Chains A and B, each alone.
Chain A
Amino acid sequence: MIVRILGGGQFRVDDSAGAELNRMDSDLEAAVERGDEAAFSDALTRLLAQVRAQGSPLPPDILESSDLILPHEDSSMDEVRKLLTDEGLIPG
C-alpha cells in the first residue's frame, strides 16, 4: 500500500506492516479525541518513524493516490482536527 506523509512524500509500505500502523494510528486518534497534545505529538512521531522505517520512498514521478495519509511532522492537534473535517486546510 502507499502511505503519504504530508510534506514528506509518498512511501510504499508492505501490507503486512498495516496492522501495526493501524494500532499506532488508534493511539493517535484517541489522543486527538481526548485532546491530549503530548500524547498526540508522541503518537504522531512514532507513527511517522514507523512508516519511514517500514516503507521505501516512492519515486516522485509516479502518479498514484495514497491509501493512507499522515499529517506532517510538526502538525498541531488543531491542524489535524481541521484536516479531518475536510475544511480549510486542503487548498483548491
Chain B
Amino acid sequence: MYMKGTAARMGVMKRVSLVFKAKANRALDKMEDPRETLDYSYQRQLELLTKVRRGVADVATSRKRVELQMNQLQQQANKLQDQARKALSMGREDLAREALTRKASAQSQLDELQTQYAQLQAEEEKLTVASQRLQAKVDAFRTRKETIKATYTAAEAQTRINEAFSGISEEMGDVGMAIQRAEDKTAQMQARAGAIDELMASGALDDVGGRRDDIQSELDMMSANSDVERELAMLKGELTAGAPKQLEGSAPNGAGQGAQGYQAPQQNQASQQDQAPQQDQQQGPYAPQYSPPSQTEPVQPPQQNQQNQQNQQAQPAGLPVADLPGLADEPQDGDRS
C-alpha cells in the first residue's frame, strides 16, 4: 500500500530513471576491481557502437528494398490504368473493371508501404543520431577512463568510475532500446515486403511484364483479332467483285440480310407465325434450347397480329443472352445448314 502510493507520487519519469540506475548499479556490483569496470565497460561500448552502425545499415537496406517495391507497385498501378483505358476503348468494360480492381489493390498496398516507409526512414534517422551521440559519449568515456587510471588510486577512483559508468550506461540502455525498436520495425517491414512479393508473384496485382498477365494477353488477343477482322474485310473486299453472292452469305455485320437469306432455305414453306421463333434461333448459338418454349408459350398469339411486334417480344423472351459473339456465329450456322 505504502509502496504503491510512493510509486504513484514518484511519477513515470522518476521511476524510469531509477530503473536505469538500478541496472547500472547491478552491473557495477558485479565488478570486483573498479578499474576492471572501466575496461570492460569500454569494450561493451565499442561493441554497441558496432551494433548500432550495423543497425543503421540494416534499416537502410530494408528501406531500399521497400523503395524498389514501391516503384514496382507504382509501375503496376500505372500499367493497369493504361490497360483499363485500352480495354474500355475496345468496349470491354469487364476487363477495364478487372484492371481497375487490381489497380486499387496495388494502390492500397502502395499506400500502406508509404506509411511504413516513412516510419522506417524516421527510424533510420533516429538510429543515425543515436549512433553519433553514443560515439561522442564513448569518446568522452575513453578520455575519462585514461584520466582516472593515471591519476587516482583504485580506492579514490571508485566514485569517479561510478559516475562515468552510470552516465554511459544510461546512454547504452537508450541506444540498445533504439536498436531493438529499429530491428522490430525492419522485421515488420520485411514481413510486409515479403507478403507483397508473394502477392505480386501470384498475379493478383498483375505481374509487371510477367507471363501471367491475363489482362494484357486478352487485350493483345483482341488486338490480334481486330487485325484478323481487318484482313478478313480486305479479302472480302477483293472477293466482292468476283462473287457478290458469297459475300452476302458471309458478311459478319449483315445480320438482318443474312438471317433472311438463311430463312428461305431452312423453311421453304414457312408461315409468318413460324418465322419469328426461327429468327430467334438464328440470333445466337443458344437459340435451339429456347425455341420450344417460345413456340408454345403466350408469345404465339401476338405473333399473329403483327410480325414486327413478334420479333421484339420474342427476342428478349427466347434469347436473354443475345450478344455480339452470338451474332458473329450466325454466318457459321448459315454455312452449316
Q: Are A66 and B11 neighbours in the complex by a CB distance under 8 Å?
A: no
Q: Which of B81-133 contact A (CB under 8 A)?
A: 126, 129-130, 132-133
Q: Are B19 and A83 neighbours in the complex by a CB distance under 8 Å?
A: yes
In the bound complex, how far is the Cα of B170 from the Cα of A28, in angstroms?
22
Q: Is B260 an interface residue (CB 8 A)?
A: no
Q: Is A67 an interface residue (CB 8 A)?
A: yes
Q: Are B24 and A84 neighbours in the complex by a CB distance under 8 Å?
A: no
Measured between beta carbons, the chain A residues less than 8 angstroms from B169 are 65
Q: Is B157 an interface residue (CB 8 A)?
A: no
In the bound complex, how far is the Cα of B136 from the Cα of A90, in angstroms?
21
Q: Is B173 an interface residue (CB 8 A)?
A: yes
For residue B176, which residue of chain A has the nearest CB? Answer: A91
Q: A25-B11, A84-B16 are in contact. Are A62 and B140 (CB under 8 A)?
A: yes
In the bound complex, how far is the Cα of B158 from the Cα of A90, in angstroms?
25
Q: Are B13 and A25 neighbours in the complex by a CB distance under 8 Å?
A: yes
Q: A69-B13, A83-B16, A84-B15 are in contact. Are A60 and B177 (CB under 8 A)?
A: no
Q: A65-B166, A66-B170 are in contact. Are A29 and B22 (CB under 8 A)?
A: no
Most buried by B among A7, A72, A86: A7
Measured between beta carbons, the chain B residues less than 8 angstroms from A59 are 136
Measured between beta carbons, the chain B residues less than 8 angstroms from A15 are none
Q: Are B177 and A32 neighbours in the complex by a CB distance under 8 Å?
A: no
Q: A65-B166, A86-B23, A91-B176 are in contact. Are A71 and B16 (CB under 8 A)?
A: yes
Q: Is B212 an interface residue (CB 8 A)?
A: no
Q: A63-B144, A65-B167, A65-B170 are in contact. Are A29 and B11 (CB under 8 A)?
A: yes
Most buried by A among B130, B164, B174: B174
Most buried by A among B11, B21, B163, B173: B11
| Interface residue tally for chain A (C-beta within 8 Å) | 36
For residue A47, which residue of chain B has the nearest CB? Answer: B13
Interface residues of B (CB under 8 A from A): 8, 11-17, 19-24, 27, 44, 48, 126, 129-130, 132-133, 136-137, 139-141, 144, 163-164, 166-170, 172-174, 176-181
Select A90's contact among B8, B20, B139, B168, beta carbons within 8 Å. B20
Select B12's contact among A7, A28, A65, A92, beta carbons within 8 Å. A28
Q: List 6 A-B contacts (CB under 8 A).
A: A4-B17, A7-B126, A7-B177, A25-B13, A26-B11, A67-B14
For residue A64, which residue of chain B has the nearest CB? Answer: B167
* 12 extra interface residue pairs, beta carbon distance < 8 Å, beyond A61-B140, A91-B173: A25-B12, A25-B13, A29-B12, A32-B12, A47-B13, A60-B133, A65-B21, A65-B169, A69-B170, A70-B13, A92-B48, A92-B173
